[in-house]
Amino acid sequence: MSKKNRTGVVYSTDPDFNYQSGDEPEAETLAPAHQQLKVWLERLGGNKVVTAVKGFIGTDADLNALAKQLKNACGTGGSAKDGDILIQGDHREKVLTFLTQKGYKAKKAGG
């Protein structure tokens, strides 16, 4: 661990001292068959419409990989953060068919 990340610890005279960081381990990625994904249509500021995929349980690397595959399948941009995937535009049908073909349990949610 880098010394720069040790906030609050200045010096310890205890030879058995072990710094405990407050980082929680990331959740392991569930198999696609065990994921319960929901596909939403949301309006963001400026009256922009995005397709949101919520409910992903797993690591950030796996979330980003799935987001990249969805963006390629829809042919548009987007982002992945806080366990959600945002795809620019209304692509609910494309996203839903892509996820079910990959073995995910996905369904439409919201209005």
Let me know if residue 3 belongs to a domain.
no
Mean pLDDT across the chain? 86
Let me know if residue 20 belongs to a domain.
no
Number of domains in the chain: 1
Let me know if residue 85 belongs to a domain.
yes
Phi-psi region of 67 (alpha: psi -120 to 50; beta: other; left: phi over 0): alpha
Instruction: Report pLDDT digits (tens) over 51-105.
Output: 999 999 989 999 999 999 999 999 999 999 888 999 999 999 999 999 999 999 9
Let me know if residue 65 belongs to a domain.
yes
Let me know if residue 14 belongs to a domain.
no
d(CA 60, CA 96): 21
* Domain range for 60: 29-105
d(CA 40, CA 34): 19
Q: Residue 39 belongs to a domain with what CATH number?
A: 3.30.780.10
d(CA 15, CA 63): 41
| Total-model pTM | 0.74
